[in-house]
């Protein structure tokens, strides 16, 4: 009898780091549900990966800010697979203030923040993760080795951002994307605490600055950035939970 394939869901996987996470998980033999809020983009991305020999990649429509679309995705997984083994919460949005801050532009300081923009960023990067996670937990509870990876950012590290001599301490302050990733780290720890005595491992990944639409001037490839999420998605039973990791190991909170 063939071994049961691991079932993975990656949100925001039609491009960038999520696309590469989907590719790398599929290459490891998993059945990968490639999440995309735009159906056509998801279908195209999954087709491209299958055509390149990535393996069993299937598109699934999911806007992480829309509970109905997340619920429909959970129902689809329940009908077709009865469970979920790996959830990678990768989808995120970026605000112009954070983009500007990374280029040294101080025109978007917290004191001038557009709250609608800040709310929209948190809606995707924090509340979207909670929406998806809670919708998928009943399916993850049917897995013998469930894993959740929240794709965070080193920019969200409180110790790094508050070190005036470090590279992140030199970035001008902004209060959309950056604190959304700090909040995501705290959310990660809270889920890990709730599930500490179970097989579920919940960790946050820092891909490092990668060349994607979100960060077009970076040098590192999205494929390289995907590796830490893949490692955390494939942890053995003795792996860590409630941690924050990059390629080199734990990242300071």
By CB under 6 A, name the binding residues for ligand NAP: 11-12, 14-18, 37-38, 41, 62-65, 90-93, 124, 128, 151, 153, 207, 209-210, 212-215, 218, 222
The CB-of-3 to ligand NAP minimum distance in angstroms stands at 30
Concerning whether 181 is annotated as a catalytic residue, the answer is yes
Cα–Cα distance, 220 to 226 (Å, whole number) = 11
Closest CB to ligand NAP among residues 39, 170: 39
Residue 128 Cβ, how far from ligand NAP at the closest point, in Å?
A: 6
Residue-wise burial string across 58-75, b where 16 or more C-beta atoms lie within 10 A, e elsewhere: bbbbbbbbeeebbeebbe
To ligand NAP, the closest distance from the beta carbon of 154 in angstroms equals: 7
Toward ligand NAP, which CB reaches closer, 11 or 31? Answer: 11
Neighbours of 247 (CB within 10 A): 15
Q: In terms of CB distance, is 120 or 199 closer to ligand NAP?
A: 120
- Please give the angle made by the CA atoms of 242, 12 and 185, to the nearest 5 degrees: 20
Distance CA 128, CA 126 (A): 5
Provide the minimum distance between the beta carbon of 94 and ligand NAP in the complex, in angstroms, as a whole number.
Answer: 7
Among the options 19, 177, 191, 195, which is catalytic? 177
> Does 94 participate in catalysis according to the annotation?
no
Provide the b/e sequence for 3-32 (b: ≥16 CB within 10 Å).
eeebbbbbbbbbbbbbbbbbbbbbbeebbb
Query: Does residue 87 sit in helix, strand or coil?
Result: strand
Nearer to ligand NAP, 110 or 209 (CB): 209
Joined tokens for residue 60 = 């699934």
The Cα 70–Cα 178 span in angstroms is 25
Residue (20 or 241) nearer to ligand NAP, CB: 20
Residues 32 and 40: their CA atoms lie apart, in Å, by: 17
- As to burial, measured by CB atoms within 10 angstroms (0-12 exposed, 13-18 middle, 19+ buried), residue 199 is middle
> Among the options 19, 27, 94, 181, which is catalytic?
181
Smallest gap, in angstroms, from Cβ of residue 237 to ligand NAP?
26
Q: Which residue is nearest to ligand NAP (CB)?
A: 16
* Active site positions, annotated: 177, 181
């Amino acid at each position: 009898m063939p071994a049961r394939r691991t079932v993975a869901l990656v949100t925001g996987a039609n491009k960038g780091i999520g696309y590469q996470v989907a590719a790398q998980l599929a290459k490891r033999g998993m059945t990968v549900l490639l999440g995309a809020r735009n159906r056509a983009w998801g279908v195209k991305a999954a087709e491209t990966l299958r055509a390149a020999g990535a393996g069993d990649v299937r598109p699934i429509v999911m806007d992480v800010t829309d509970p109905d679309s997340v619920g429909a995705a959970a129902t689809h997984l329940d009908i077709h697979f009865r469970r979920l083994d790996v959830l990678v919460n990768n989808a995120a949005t970026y605000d112009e203030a954070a983009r500007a801050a990374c280029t040294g532009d101080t025109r978007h300081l917290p004191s001038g923040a557009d709250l609608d923009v800040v709310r929209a960023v948190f809606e995707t990067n924090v509340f979207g993760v909670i929406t998806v996670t809670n919708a998928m937990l009943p399916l993850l509870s049917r897995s013998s080795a469930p894993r959740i990876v929240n794709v965070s950012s080193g920019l969200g590290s409180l110790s790094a951002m508050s070190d005036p001599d470090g590279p992140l301490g030199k970035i001008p302050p902004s209060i959309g994307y950056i604190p959304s990733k700090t909040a995501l780290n705290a959310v990660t720890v809270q889920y890990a605490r709730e599930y500490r005595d179970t097989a579920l491992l919940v960790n946050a990944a820092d891909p490092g600055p990668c060349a994607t639409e979100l960060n077009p001037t970076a040098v590192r490839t999205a494929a390289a950035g995907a590796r830490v999420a893949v490692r955390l998605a494939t942890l053995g039973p003795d792996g860590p939970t409630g941690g924050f990791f990059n390629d080199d190991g734990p990242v300071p909170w």
